[in-house]
């Protein structure tokens, strides 16, 4: 029996298009504005290739006006307060619900996605996101007391979930008190324009939300605008890199949600019928144009052929067709250029020896359609196993053992999501922490909710959207404003304690500390260290590129530190504090050599001991949460360490700044490569013996002395360094952010501004722990 068509009527959407005469201007400062370029581009329905409307192309001057409107609106929006903003967000949510069908139909027409998906998934999630964030708006001052809004946020979104991505961006930004300028993707601007109309209808103050349409050049003008305080971007890793580089050193905050090549791992005891439906959701949802699509099917060898047969059987029954037909499974590809990308990569897969299978039926010819496709016999290094195809193409590989499954899953530069299929809960929960990805779904896939954070590890970008963790992307610490650009490095007054004897001191050349051992620098050179009076008092090893590489290798080898319990790590940290206390006098004298008074030096040492206590205490207390996501799941939000972290210490507070940055990082399970103060590294090198006597495993803390900016550049360019904290100059900060774009390392730089390490709001804060970790959300089926 043939399926009949079950068409959804486009009439309401067509009426709306006609009402606007099929032509849309820009929306900023609460008004519809003609673009200065006077240029418009067509947006089409990819299911039938018909033009839907003409969309304005904003140039840099239009962008400037929109940013100015957002800036002008900011003070009043801030002053409105938490409850006032919550009321507006609630009104938006209500309005979306009231017009939900119009939004769904328009989305499907513009993007090509099945109406079933836009009606039942995209738009309900949009409303949910605004409701949820109306709540966060209300609670901002209670839940995030130490934080305030960032300012004007530029938001750039892709075409795969146009309105949902808008909601993910605008809802948290407004809730935290910011104003926004948002650019939808060129292929799919319509629902963002309808959203602008809705903002008008509810009387949202002018300039709080501004919608600018245009292409990549418009996006670039937003990124480069000097009054933009933060950029939130979702799209390709290539453009993410451009944005990282363009903003390096500017002080603009960024969050990037980029591509993925997510593994869908099936163990031999999985319920294969559920797996097949999971595969349909993983790779044929939204035509596979999903950043977290389960595009790599990893199957245990013993069940592979059986599973492939079931999948092929299911594929044969899938229906591709007009997005407004309620009975289709797969809609149209968004645009001809995307279709060409898919066709090219599939051909490459065949050329590289993959076994390609497609159903026997053919796709309709009226639009841009592509059939569901399965590749088997693919090698892990094949292009289609590594590159994001962003289409309905599933690439299958097999594994024999659990460790092999984990290795294969992590064999990608991305880290957005993963799903694990097994009936064995122990196995699922053993594998979940070993996968390097921001979201792990157990026996489910592609489930989203406003209460859970979403975002990547590695080259899938950084930052989270949704959940409490997502709010931090739209706030800054109030104390940031107290950091100054003035240089108060080391006091240049004479050392308060100089050697009482005229005899030459016993020569002391401090080595580097790598892998738990004191090692000579590769260069064979040393750096002379002078005291506050300018007298040479010691030499330290002059570290170079090779030493940093060795230190990174040693840090990687110390992986067992990460799997130790927080309690066990805390014991080591307390022991470090205890040993520092025993040698307090020695450390005080050392600081006095660099010009500190006895009182100040004593204060710095005792604060250091206290800080170690603080982070030892946090080691087993900075935990995650269980998010209230959809009823059939609980979602564990687990803070995980970044991995190997570079830390470049400032010149000032040579002991306290070292302790205040290194100890929280290792408390969270990171292994670190530290470049201590260049001019006063001896407080750090004195710690070698303390570390050695405190049971700190070798390789957890590695210290390379030398020229700060040379060493930090090596760390920034190192592909095996996962994150980098830098407390130095503005130029150094720029260099770090620029170089970090290559492997998308998480950076935290100070743009040449000094913090007062002795103040707890600047030198001891949960913020250090937040920067030392990233949240993984693990979705576990729960309840009915
Ligand atoms: P892009 O990254 O090019 O586009 C994303 C957004 O960025 C769009 O709004 C785009 O504008 C804008 N943009 C493009 N260039 C710049 C720039 N230099 N500065 C600022 N903004 C810019 O993705 P594409 O749409 O070209 O898709 C290409 C590939 O990216 C896909 O095949 C897929 O692999 C991946 N992708 C990943 C997504 C994800 O969710 N992770 C989403 C979409 C794509 P405009 O649309 O006008 O060009």
d(CA 449, CA 146): 26
Q: At 583, is the secondary structure helix, strand, or coil?
A: coil
Of 66, 78, 75, 73, the closest CA to residue 225 belongs to: 66
For a ligand 1 pocket test, name from 40, 162, 236 the mutation site with the most ligand atoms within 8 angstroms of its C-beta: 236
Q: Whose CA is nearest to atom 25 of ligand 1?
A: 158
Q: At 248, is the secondary structure helix, strand, or coil?
A: coil
| pLDDT score recorded for residue 625 | 96
d(CA 516, CA 629): 44
215 lines ligand 1 (CB under 6 A): yes
For a ligand 1 pocket test, name from 168, 187, 239 the mutation site with the most ligand atoms within 8 angstroms of its C-beta: 239
Would you give the DSSP letter of residue 118?
Answer: I
d(CA 729, CA 562): 31
Angle between helices 60-98 and 123-143 (to 10 degrees): 100
Asked if residue 372 lies in contact with residue 286, where contact means CB atoms within 8 angstroms, the answer is no
Q: Whose CA is nearest to atom 46 of ligand 1?
A: 185
What lies within 8 Å, CB to CB, of 38 at 6+ separation is none
Q: Whose CA is nearest to atom 16 of ligand 1?
A: 216
Of 396, 392, 325, the closest CA to residue 358 belongs to: 392
Count of other CB atoms within 10 angstroms of residue 337: 10
416 lines ligand 1 (CB under 6 A): no
| Ligand 1 midpoint to CA 235 (Å) | 4
Question: Token digits for 627?
Answer: 């998010």
Asked if residue 28 lies in contact with residue 58, where contact means CB atoms within 8 angstroms, the answer is no
Instruction: Give the bridge partners for 773, in sequence order.
Output: 641
185 lines ligand 1 (CB under 6 A): yes
Residue 784 C-alpha from the chain's centroid: 32
d(CA 172, CA 130): 8
Q: Whose CA is nearest to atom 44 of ligand 1?
A: 235
| Ligand 1 midpoint to CA 43 (Å) | 16
What lies within 8 Å, CB to CB, of 654 at 6+ separation is 490, 591, 594, 676, 677, 680, 681, 682, 683, 684
Report the nearest atom of ligand 1 relative to the CA of 460: 41
CB burial of residue 164 (10 Å; 0-12, 13-18, 19+): buried
Q: Whose CA is nearest to atom 40 of ligand 1?
A: 291
| Ligand 1 midpoint to CA 260 (Å) | 13
465 lines ligand 1 (CB under 6 A): no
Q: Whose CA is nearest to atom 35 of ligand 1?
A: 236
Q: At 421, is the secondary structure helix, strand, or coil?
A: strand
258 lines ligand 1 (CB under 6 A): yes
For a ligand 1 pocket test, name from 155, 158, 463 the mutation site with the most ligand atoms within 8 angstroms of its C-beta: 158
Would you give the DSSP letter of residue 506?
Answer: P
What lies within 8 Å, CB to CB, of 652 at 6+ separation is 488, 489, 490, 677, 754, 757
Half-sphere exposure of 450 (CA within 13 A, CB side): 26
Chain length of the chain: 784
414 lines ligand 1 (CB under 6 A): no
Of 146, 139, 152, 153, the closest CA to residue 81 belongs to: 139
d(CA 406, CA 413): 14
| Ligand 1 midpoint to CA 325 (Å) | 28
163 lines ligand 1 (CB under 6 A): no
291 lines ligand 1 (CB under 6 A): yes
Q: Whose CA is nearest to atom 15 of ligand 1?
A: 216
Which contiguous run of DSSP H or E holds residue 419? strand 417-421
Would you give the DSSP letter of residue 231?
Answer: E
Instruction: Give the strands of the sheet with 723-726, arranged side by side.
Output: 517-519, 512-514, 701-703, 671-675, 644-648, 723-726, 746-749
Asked if residue 591 lies in contact with residue 656, where contact means CB atoms within 8 angstroms, the answer is no
Phi, psi torsion values for 659, nearest 5 degrees: -65, -40
Query: Measured over all CA atoms, what is the biggest interatomic distance in the chain, rounded to whole angstroms?
Result: 104
Q: What is the CA radius of gyration of the chain?
A: 28
| Ligand 1 midpoint to CA 158 (Å) | 5
341 lines ligand 1 (CB under 6 A): yes
Q: Whose CA is nearest to atom 22 of ligand 1?
A: 216
| Ligand 1 midpoint to CA 233 (Å) | 9
What lies within 8 Å, CB to CB, of 503 at 6+ separation is none
| Ligand 1 midpoint to CA 1 (Å) | 42
207 lines ligand 1 (CB under 6 A): no
161 lines ligand 1 (CB under 6 A): no
Question: What is the residue whose two structure tokens read 């050193």?
Answer: 249
242 lines ligand 1 (CB under 6 A): yes
Phi, psi torsion values for 747, nearest 5 degrees: -120, 150
Three-class SS of 435-469: CCCCEEEECCCCCCCCCCCECCCHHHEECCECHHH
Half-sphere exposure of 582 (CA within 13 A, CB side): 10
For a ligand 1 pocket test, name from 41, 159, 215, 216 the mutation site with the most ligand atoms within 8 angstroms of its C-beta: 216
186 lines ligand 1 (CB under 6 A): yes
Question: Token digits for 203?
Answer: 């009387």
Strand-pair category, 512-514 with 517-519: antiparallel
Asked if residue 418 lies in contact with residue 265, where contact means CB atoms within 8 angstroms, the answer is yes
| Ligand 1 midpoint to CA 37 (Å) | 22
Q: Whose CA is nearest to atom 4 of ligand 1?
A: 235
d(CA 370, CA 347): 13
Where b means 16+ CB within 10 Å and e means fewer, 390-409 reads bbbbbbbbbbeebeebbebb
Annotated active-site positions, please? Answer: 257, 291
236 lines ligand 1 (CB under 6 A): yes
Question: What is the residue whose two structure tokens read 């930090």?
Answer: 712
Phi, psi torsion values for 403, nearest 5 degrees: -60, -35
Question: Token digits for 690?
Answer: 């303390």
| Ligand 1 midpoint to CA 461 (Å) | 14
224 lines ligand 1 (CB under 6 A): no
Question: Token digits for 525?
Answer: 């050179």
Asked if residue 445 lies in contact with residue 419, where contact means CB atoms within 8 angstroms, the answer is yes
Phi, psi torsion values for 419, nearest 5 degrees: -130, 145
What secondary structure does DSSP assign to 267-322, as a single string? -TTS-HHHHHHHHHHHHSGGGG--TT---EEEEEGGGHHHHHHHHHHHHHH--B--
Question: Token digits for 358?
Answer: 């497609």
Asked if residue 294 lies in contact with residue 343, where contact means CB atoms within 8 angstroms, the answer is no
pLDDT along the chain (784 residues), means of 10: 86 98 98 97 98 98 98 98 98 98 98 98 98 98 96 98 98 98 98 98 98 98 98 97 98 97 98 98 98 98 98 98 97 98 98 98 97 97 98 98 98 98 97 98 97 97 97 95 66 46 63 97 95 91 98 98 97 98 97 96 98 98 94 93 98 97 98 97 97 97 97 97 97 97 96 95 95 98 87
Instruction: Give the bridge partners for 372, in sequence order.
Output: none
Where b means 16+ CB within 10 Å and e means fewer, 39-77 reads ebeebbbbbbeeebbbbbbbbbebbbbbbbbbbebbeeb
165-394-418 Cα angle (round to 5)? 55
Asked if residue 246 lies in contact with residue 258, where contact means CB atoms within 8 angstroms, the answer is no
């Amino acid at each position: 029996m043939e399926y009949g068509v079950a068409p959804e009527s486009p009439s309401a959407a067509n009426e709306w298009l006609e009402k606007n005469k099929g032509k849309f201007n820009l929306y900023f400062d609460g008004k519809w504005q003609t673009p200065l370029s006077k240029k418009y581009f067509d947006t089409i329905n990819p299911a039938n290739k018909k033009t839907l409307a003409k969309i304005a192309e904003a140039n840099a001057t239009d962008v400037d006006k929109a940013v100015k409107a957002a800036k002008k609106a900011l003070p009043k929006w801030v002053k409105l307060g938490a409850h006032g903003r919550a009321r507006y967000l609630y009104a938006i949510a209500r309005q979306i619900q009231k017009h939900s069908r119009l939004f769904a139909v328009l989305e499907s027409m513009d993007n090509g996605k099945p109406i079933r998906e836009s009606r039942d998934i995209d738009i309900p999630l949009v409303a949910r996101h605004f409701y949820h964030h109306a709540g966060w708006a209300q609670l901002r001052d209670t839940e995030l007391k130490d934080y305030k809004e960032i300012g004007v946020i530029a938001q750039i979104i892709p075409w795969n979930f146009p309105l949902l991505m808008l909601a993910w961006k605008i809802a948290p930004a407004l809730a935290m008190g910011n104003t926004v300028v948002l650019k939808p993707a060129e292929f799919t601007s319509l629902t963002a324009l309808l959203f602008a109309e809705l903002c008008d209808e509810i009387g949202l103050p002018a300039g709080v939300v501004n919608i600018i349409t245009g292409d990549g050049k418009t996006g670039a003008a937003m990124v480069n605008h000097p009054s933009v305080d933060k950029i939130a971007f979702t799209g390709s890793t290539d453009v993410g890199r451009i944005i990282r580089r363009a903003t390096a050193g500017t002080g603009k905050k960024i969050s990037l949600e980029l591509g993925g090549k997510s593994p869908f791992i099936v163990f031999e005891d999985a319920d294969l019928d559920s797996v097949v439906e999971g595969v349909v959701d993983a790779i044929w949802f939204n035509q596979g144009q999903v950043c977290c699509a389960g595009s790599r099917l990893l199957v245990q060898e013993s069940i592979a052929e059986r599973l492939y047969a079931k999948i092929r059987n299911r594929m044969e029954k899938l229906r591709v067709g007009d997005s407004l037909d309620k009975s289709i499974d797969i809609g149209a590809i968004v645009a001809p250029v995307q279709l060409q990308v898919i066709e090219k990569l599939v051909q490459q897969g065949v050329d590289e020896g993959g076994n390609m299978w497609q159903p026997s039926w053919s796709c309709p010819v009226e639009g841009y359609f592509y059939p569901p496709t399965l590749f088997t016999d693919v090698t892990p290094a094949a292009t289609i196993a590594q590159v994001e195809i962003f289409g309905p193409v599933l690439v299958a590989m097999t594994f024999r053992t659990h460790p092999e499954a984990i290795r294969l899953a992590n064999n990608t530069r991305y880290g957005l999501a993963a799903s694990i299929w097994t009936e064995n809960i122990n196995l699922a929960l053993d594998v979940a922490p070993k996968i390097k990805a921001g979201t792990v779904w157990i026996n489910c896939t592609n489930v989203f909710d406003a209460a859970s954070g979403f975002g990547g590890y590695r080259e899938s970008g950084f930052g989270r959207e949704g959940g409490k963790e997502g709010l931090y992307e739209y706030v800054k610490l109030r104390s940031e404003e107290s950091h100054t650009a003035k240089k108060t490095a080391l006091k240049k007054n004479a050392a308060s304690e100089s050697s009482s004897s005229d005899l030459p001191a016993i020569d002391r050349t401090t080595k580097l500390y790598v892998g738990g051992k004191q090692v000579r620098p590769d260069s064979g050179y040393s750096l002379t260290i002078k005291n506050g009076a300018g007298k040479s008092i010691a030499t330290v090893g002059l570290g170079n590129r090779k030493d940093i590489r060795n230190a990174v290798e040693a840090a990687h080898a110390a992986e067992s530190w990460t799997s130790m319990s927080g309690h066990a790590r805390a014991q080591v940290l307390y022991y470090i504090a205890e040993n520092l206390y025993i040698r307090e006098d020695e450390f005080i004298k050392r600081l006095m050599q660099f010009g500190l008074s006895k009182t100040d030096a004593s204060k710095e040492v005792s604060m250091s001991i206290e800080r170690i206590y603080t982070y030892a205490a946090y080691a087993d207390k900075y935990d995650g949460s269980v998010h209230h996501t959809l009823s059939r799941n609980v979602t564990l939000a687990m803070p995980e360490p970044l991995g190997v972290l570079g830390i470049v210490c400032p010149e000032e507070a040579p002991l306290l700044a070292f302790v205040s940055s290194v100890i929280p990082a290792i408390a969270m399970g990171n292994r670190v490569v530290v470049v201590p103060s260049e001019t006063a590294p001896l407080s750090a090198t004195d710690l070698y013996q303390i570390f050695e006597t405190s049971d700190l495993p070798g390789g957890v803390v590695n210290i390379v002395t030398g020229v700060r900016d040379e060493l930090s550049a090596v760390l920034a360019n190192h592909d095996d360094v996962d994150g980098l904290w830098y407390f130095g100059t503005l130029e150094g900060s720029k260099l770090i952010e620029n170089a970090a774009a290559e492997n998308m390392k998480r950076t935290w730089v100070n743009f040449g501004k000094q913090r007062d390490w002795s103040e707890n709001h600047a030198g001891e804060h949960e913020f250090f722990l937040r920067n030392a970790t990233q949240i993984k959300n693990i979705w576990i089926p729960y309840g009915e």
